[in-house]
Structure formats: C-alpha cells, structure tokens
Amino acid sequence: MGLDFTAIDFETANGFRGSPCSVGLTKVRGGKVVEEASWLMRPPAGYDHFDYHNVRIHGITAADVAQAPRFGELFPEIGAFIGEDVLAAHNAAFDLGVIRSALEVSGLPGPAYHYVCTVMLSRRCYSLVSNSLPFAAEEAGVPLVNHHDAAEDARACAGILVDIAARNGANSLAELYLSLGLAMPRQQAFDPATGDLSKPSLAAIAGASGNGAALVQRFQSGWPEEGVNPEPNLDAEPGHPLYAQTVVFTGQLSIDRPEAKRRSARCGARTESRVTGRTTVLVVGDGFVASDLRSGRLTGKARRVLELHERGQAIEVLSEGEFLQMVGGGDIRHAPQVAAAETRDAACAAAVSA
C-alpha cells in the first residue's frame, strides 16, 4: 500500500463544531495529489447562524450559502469522495468532530473513520514554536496563500503529511505510524437510533433550547484569576493533543482561567501558573494570532516562551481558538465571543474552526 489518504478541512459558521459551511478535500495516492473537491453548504437547521468572528476569518456569509444544500444533503457526496480512505486533518479532533456533531444534530448515521492529525505529527517531527497550519505548511515547503479557504487548507494539510512521511522514510501511513511508535486513532461509526450524542452536540442542543448554562462567556475582570491547578485526568485519551502536556495561560481569555485549567486537566494536561522549564504549551488570549509571533505583539509569558524555544525547549504557542477546538468550544448562543474559525490562524494549536 502506498501513501494514500484524503485530507479534509472544514470551516464553520459559528462556535459550534456542528455548523459546517464549507469543506475542502484532497485525495492523495502514492504521495501525489490526484483529485480535489470542495463545497459550500448550509449548516444543519437550527445551528446555521453566522457569527461575526467566523465570517471575519473565512469570509463566508449566510448569503453565500443561501442556495447551497444543507450538510445532511451533501454528506453522501462528501462520504463518497472519502470512500474507505484514512482521513488527515490539521487538528483532526476538530474536523472529525465537525462530521460527528453535524451528523448528530441532523439525525443522520455516519461511518467509522481512521484518521491522522498533522498537528500531532508536526509536533513530533518538526521543531516549531507554533504548529498552526501556516507555520507547519511553511516548514513542509507547501504554499498556503489563502488560509481559511477550505480547499487550500486541505491541500496544505496533505502536503504536510507527505513531507512528514518522506522525512521518516515511510511509504505508507502504516509505516509512518509504526516508525513513530503510534497507533492510528479511529472515530467510531454513529447511529442516531442507538448512539450517545457527543458533548459538543449536547451543549449546543441545550443552548439552542435555552436550557443550558453558557459554556463560553466574556471574562471581564481586570487581572485574570489563576485559580487552582487541578490534577490531570489520568484516564483521559492518550492521543489527545494536550495529554501529558504542561499548560500555562496568558492574556485575557473568553473563559476564566480556572475553567480553562479544568478543561485542560480533563484532557490529561497538567496546568501551571507561570512559564518554567516544564512548560510545553502556552495558550495566549487577547485575540492572539500566529502572525503575532513574528510581529512582536506578545505578552511577557509569550516572550519567555520564545526565549526558551530558542534555547531548545520543546514548547508550543497556541491561540485560544485552537485551545478551545481541542477542549471543546462554546455553546450555540455564546460562541460569538470565540471564533471557531479563528483557531487555525491563531498561533497554535483551536479550534472553535478553521
């Protein structure tokens, strides 16, 4: 078997991951791009409002998709394009979550997928201060001109995976994962008649019905309260991007830091209140984006991270959006505060969507 897979990227209309408004797919055979497809779509009914922040990132409006089929109508074509392929995505938990949540709120079944995450592989195989798509694509030598165009982002993801396989001398994804000592993750099939809904879908449904407490609210106090550092959940999924990481937060977040720390700990991360030699991930608020790493618009903690990275410490900067993609974003009513689409543009790795 050669290096065969399909790369996928979704853009979402709002902070709920089950609100896809566009998708890009790139099919690779033997390490070469052989076919591409992309669609605009209306998100599932009831979850199809467009938040300002998402529109600002990807430029897609409600008017642009007004005549497009809904996700549920289009998914058979998307599924047919994917076929039996392994899916590749940059922050795959988000893009696979888009499929799962959008199917759930549409009341439709979905197949199982093996998948690979180029954020995780980038962390293993590159040495970048940010593993956001623009940085990883630059390292892989893949042009990324129009970031947040789903077709271009899927193509860049494919290029990153091909480059990482080449650097590891792997001729297939199976060889790549074997060489890295990893097991390929799998998203299970979903049957709406018998399957349990995912947490993002449950939160969105509760929010849409007015019965759920807000999961994302603008945090207004002056100096952020650090709160306690909870013990990491040792039973969390080892394949999660934050599992066994040591996470520090800086800048104003749209959720308070104690809540951010609780979500991190649930995913198996250890949180701390200052940057040290143990820090592996810094999450930056204040609307931070990847380009800020080069422009110098950084907090003191972020500057410290850059210094440590230059000295060889394995440490990564994430935007708040990318972080929320990893730990679960906001509900249907409060997601405008945190753009799902902002995630991949902010210095990584979450989304709430790219």
Residue pLDDT tens, the chain, 354 long: 689 999 999 999 998 999 999 999 999 999 999 999 999 999 999 999 999 888 988 999 999 999 999 999 999 999 999 999 999 999 898 999 999 999 999 999 999 999 999 999 998 999 898 898 999 999 999 989 898 999 999 999 999 999 999 999 999 999 999 999 999 999 999 998 888 888 888 888 887 754 433 333 443 444 568 889 999 999 988 878 899 999 999 888 878 899 999 999 999 999 999 988 899 998 988 777 666 777 666 677 777 777 887 788 888 888 887 888 788 654 333 333 333 333 333 333 333 333
Contact (Cβ atoms closer than 8 angstroms) between residue 354 and residue 328 = no
For the beta carbon of residue 303, count every other beta carbon within 10 angstroms. 13
Give the global pTM: 0.78
CA dist., res. 190 & res. 267, Å (int): 22
**Which pair of tokens denotes residue 43?**
């998100």
Q: Which residues pair with 281 in a beta bridge?
A: 247, 316
Question: What is the DSSP code string of 109-145?
Answer: -B--EEEEEHHHHHHHH---S--SHHHHHHHHT---S
Q: Name the nearest CA neighbour of 79 among 37, 45, 120, 119.
A: 37
- Characterise 315 by phi-psi region: left (phi > 0), alpha (psi -120 to 50), beta (else): beta
